[in-house]
Chain A
Amino acid sequence: MFGEKMASLGPARISPGWVSGLFCVLAFSAVAWYQQPQSRALAADRFDPESRPHLIRPDEPLLPILKDKRLDERKIALGRALFHDVRLSHDNTISCAFCHDLARGGVDHLPRSFGVGGEEGAINTPTVYNASLNFRQFWDGRAASLEEQVDGPLHNPVEMATSWGEILPRLRHDEKLAAQFQAIYDAAPSPDNVRDALAEFERSLVTPSRMDRWLLGENDALNSRELKGYRLFKQYGCIACHQGANVGGNMYQRFGIMKDYFENKKKTTSADMGRFNVTGREEDRHVFKVPSLRNITLTAPYFHDASAVSLHEAVSSMGYYQLGVDLPQEDVQAIVIFLYALTGDELQ
């Protein structure tokens, strides 16, 4: 009895000042903790002058490119693995690399690729190289970003024909892969993570070429024939659309400005409608994203319908339909020679 009384006597002495002081300290630290991420958010998305090289030849309509050094190597590795992962298809047969063969210019050289179950696609496969430099993705520009693009082939029934619900459990089941995700994103594989990793990997697939070196002031990078081809390229007006860093890929244009391309075509498909499929505007009929000419020598056949088997053919067609000119054969040859200078050094 006495023991109990004595024992309960000690801790009963708590001063009110002490308690309120403790409370205040807790409150302030909570506020400080809460405020920090907000101020960090403010700093994001500032224009980074380092991302573009200094212009040595400012009057040239083409812009040089460099490898982006600020990418996350871990994400690139993960994205590369996913890019080659057949589990991203319905029946575990097809990976991204199946059609975008990195060893062969990022394409499969088929007029139209075959998807799950041997289904044939609707349109010629564009290269994955330098895709990050395109202002929008797909021939009709329906995806605004690489991330957005991922879902396209994934869900397309004639391509990978699958869904996130099908893929994610597979990925999560792979302990090693899941651990990689955990390490990078501090989360299990999710649609956003997979998209981000793939996009980051694709951003690494940028291929500077001799042309870039010339643009950066290295005069010996191009020989005289190439320079002649480049001059013709500009003179004929190819440069009007194929300009900028990606030599195209930053605008839409109608296929058949001077001559109606589709008039002579035996059979037109919905793919031939181009951007019309996206906007539904009449003036967007047969309008396509102007494709990049980088690595063009590696990506035959050409055009959305793979109608040009060779580059000479493609250049001639472009001259005929877009410029209304029957390009002399030697000029076509000169332009093709120039186009070889656009092939990425590492893909040679």
Chain B
Amino acid sequence: MRPVRFPRRYVFPVVLLVLLGGALAVLYVLSARVGDAARIQVELDIRHAVTLDTDINLDILRLRYRQLRHYDTISDASRRVERALDRLQAGFEKVNMGHALKQARSEWDRKHVNLEDFKRQNSVLVNSLFHFVNLADRISARLDGSVSTRFDRLARDVLIFISEQQSQDNETLLDSLERFEKDGQEWPAALNVERRLLVAHGKLIVNNQPVVRMLMRRISQGEFPSMLERAYADYIAAYNLRVEEADYYRMLMAMFAFLMILTIVLIAVRLRKTAAELARNHTLLNNIADHLYEGILSFDAEGRLNFINRRAEVLLERDEGSLIGHTVQELFPEGGASAFLTALARGAPYEGEEWLRRASANFPAIFLGGPLPAVDSKALLGGYVTSFRDVTVQREADARLRLASRVFDNLSEAMSITNANGVIESVNAAFTTITGYTELEARGHTPGSLLKSGLHNRLFYQAMWDALAREGKWQGEITNRKKNGETYLAWLSITSLLGENNEVLHYIALFSDISERKRIETRIHHLAYHDSLTKLANRLQFIERLANHIREAGRLGRSMAIMQLDLDRFKYINDSLNHAAGDILLKAVSQRLLRLLSEGDTLARVGGDEFALLLPEITAQEEAIALARQLLHEFDVPFNLHGREVFVSASVGIAMYPFDGEEVEILLKNVDTALCKAKDSGRSTFRCFQESDNENSLERLELETELRHSVARNELRLYYQPQVDARTGRMHGVEALTRWQHPVRGLLSPDRFIPLAEASGYIDTLGNWCLRSACLQFVAWRQAGIPIRRMAVNVAARQLSSPVFVDMVLNTVQETGIPPDCLELELTESAMVTDPERVFGIFAQLRKNGIRIAIDDFGTGYSSLSYLSCYPVDVVKIDKSFVQGLEHERQNRSVVQAIVLMAHAMGMETVAEGVETETQSRRLLDFGCDFLQGFLFAHPCAPEQISELSCAHDAND
């Protein structure tokens, strides 16, 4: 990076500023050269000197007249005047007027000389005068006669002269003194010394007096003060000139200062402009940086983040403030990004992929970075800048592609992709497996040329192509030929892939060899309708046939008989011998019974040791009773079980259509009641159904009455049995089971009171209570943080006949706040038999609101597997009889497997009931069963126990 240069636009103003500053300084010095202070000093010194001069003049007079007797004041004043003059000289020279003082100075020098002379002469004069007077006094006292008179006159003349009231001029006086000196004959000799001295002093007085007077005149009349005044006038003139000059400079100064301010303003404006440009550039760069699709990070030489753009903030889900100044390591997951960090530390360019840290989830990003050159000379590196791009989507797409390709390869169905002309471009492994053609062999051919079996005519293919052209897809069964010549039945579905202009780009053909499936279907059908052990019809087929016969008999007005036969103590045989023995016994029983039946009769095995007989030919009860006797008679012969002779007895219940019921359900119930009566009567006998068996039951009445108070008396309980995920073993949901805490009879299971409730119409209230309680419990658990996903509640068939059933359910859901998709209503198959259309409507309505429907006790009811596909249900619950048979009965395994397979094919989930052993559990898992329920995992338990169970589960994890 180029070094930061001084911007050219600042050169001119800054140079100007410096020049102006220099000029201002010079002007300031010029303008400050003269000031009032200097002028006042000069004025003071002038006044001082003049005053001193006046003092001196006054002192001269005082000295002359002996008012003052020393010269200290004059000497002092003189020295002061000289000092004042020196200062004045300096002051004058400041304004270049040194010469103006010259005259005054020389005048002072003259005066000074005169002063010194005056001091000298005055001293002499004073002294002589003093001695003259003394001598004259002394002499006069000793003279007499004419000498005395003449001496007195002379002395008087001198004194008059000295007092300046001249009677004679000095010449005459000198002559007189001369004569007096020479005229010595009359003078007493003793006074000669005094005479000579007196004359000498007299001469000195006469000679000095005019000199002193002249000096005094010169001193007092000197021009010194006026010359000082004149010099001062000159000074002031010069000073004023200077002041004007200074004013001029000051004006210039003001101008320059103004210019300077202007310059500064100019600089400021330019600075602001620069700042604005910088800000604009900055904004632009930030804008660019922020709107880049890529994140940008910049680090200083120490690896601390010093820039981050908005995209990076968004990607990292952190804001600038929390990142600027932080170290680079914070951006990455612990120990990650070592390649990038190395490059950053070295200042080397870097291109690669690293995982970045983010609060929600770390994400992969592609980095493209490089070192920044140093901004100044201090550091070698100026830092490091890198861009990065979130490649999560690409990576997911990659993963999807890989998955798709794996699916394509691992699909059990064959797939071929052709171009618009039908020429194969790609096939998968299953294609090769099914057809025998490898991809290399298949490519370049059309599927038709390769696989055509010749079993379909032209019309078939015509229809297929028409459908493809019209709807973009076709599916159906087709018989094709393999490479080895075998034909096979395929379920083929062809889809055309369209381009943007709706032109066909590809055809994707998907097919599977359904020969095997066809076989399985047939088998399942058989399994479904026949008891695999005895090859007799099973309960399903029996019910189907019964329904058919009822319809036919109803139409023809005929009657018929049904019977139910139960082996007495079969459980004992099963337990004391073994299951295989039980199986042999069942087979033998079925064979003996079949011998007694005619063509149109149906013998079905409807439970473990229960057989049902449909006897359309028997129209009268007497005939039925005769047959029952015959049947029981068959048991008089012992059965041979593995070489052991065993006596087995049986009980038979008989019901007649239409006398003992016109519906399948009622008939079956009534024949069951008859069987129970037969068993109660001591076994090995038969009983015909009688209406009174139901109506006159006292106990029943009692229970029914008490049941009506059960809700109000808070005697009903809900127990919950967990359903666990077969794969994880974790609790998925619970089934709510109703119990009646009877005050006298103790805890009653539902089969003791639900039929009562159904018969008495109390089922609506009871069902309503169960549903509401279960929902409330579920919500409570959820609030307590228990991870439960499903609440299954049993619904009795009679409840569906209530016109407000759907509203009741939806209201409950809404009022309790349970999420609808967590609620599962369990219904038995029988519920669907009576009025399928209405039931389906109810189901559809509930499912539309998200509520799930489960078929309970699947495999025991009246419904058939073939109906399953028609039911709008979500869950199939495999009846515990199948589950418990899993370990021993191979047939049961197939049935369970078939149920699971079919349920899954229909998009339903499966729940296995009554799982009690690990083996069962494992098998069910192998079959793909989704959820398991049974004692193996938990008994039905109180709500608190569910919480504990859940916690225990968590703890185990």
Contacts and interface: CB of A to CB of B under 8 A. Distances in A.
Interface in A171-208: none
Contacts of A41: 37, 41
Interface in B286-315: 286, 289, 298, 300, 306-307
B282 A9 contact: yes
A325 interface: yes
* Chain B: number of interface residues, binned into ranges: 35 or more
| Secondary structure type dominating chain B contacts | helix
B401 interface: no
Given A13-B275, A258-B200, A324-B131, A252 B120 contact: yes
Nearest to A238: B127
A244 B201 CA distance: 25
A19 B264 contact: yes
A14 B116 contact: no
Given A2-B285, A41-B37, A250 B75 contact: yes
B596 interface: no
A143 interface: no
A135 interface: yes
Contact of B265 (A16, A63, A245, A325): A16
A12 B119 CA distance: 80
Nearest to A281: B113
B551 interface: no
A45 B87 CA distance: 10
Contacts, number: 148
B197 A324 contact: yes
Interface stretch (B66-74, B147-155, B391-399, B788-796): B66-74
B264 A244 contact: no
B618 interface: no
B307 A252 contact: no
A12 B275 contact: yes
B139 interface: no
B473 to A, nearest CB: 56
Contacts of A23: 257, 260-261, 264
A283 B124 CA distance: 14
Given A59-B69, A62-B70, A254 B264 contact: no
A243 interface: yes
A47 B37 CA distance: 19
B37 A5 contact: no
A63 B1 CA distance: 90
Interface string B174-209: 000000000000000000000001001100100000
A251 B83 contact: no
Interface in B12-38: 28, 32, 35, 37-38
A253 B71 CA distance: 13
Interface in B333-351: none
Contacts of A31: 28, 32
A144 interface: yes
Given A237-B126, A240-B123, A245 B268 contact: no
A53 interface: no
Interface residues of A, number: 57
A243 B264 contact: no
A23 B28 CA distance: 14
B38 A135 contact: no
B200 A3 contact: no
Contacts of A45: 83-84, 87
Interface in B372-388: 372, 375, 382-383, 385
A31 B75 CA distance: 41
A251 B120 contact: yes
A205 B28 CA distance: 47
A299 to B, nearest CB: 21
B372 A243 contact: no
A19 B268 contact: yes
Contacts of B72: 63, 243-246, 250
Interface string B830-858: 00000000000000000000000000000
B815 to A, nearest CB: 60
B130 interface: yes
B71 A42 contact: no
B580 interface: no
Contact of A3 (B82, B116, B268, B300): B300
Interface string B40-69: 110010000000000000000000000001
A252 to B, nearest CB: 6
- 7 nearest CB pairs, A to B: A61-B69, A16-B268, A244-B72, A243-B70, A244-B70, A237-B127, A135-B75
Interface of A: 1-6, 8-9, 12-16, 19-20, 23, 27, 30-31, 34-35, 38-39, 41-42, 45, 47, 59-63, 135, 144, 235, 237, 239-241, 243-246, 250-254, 257-258, 279, 281, 283, 287, 323-325
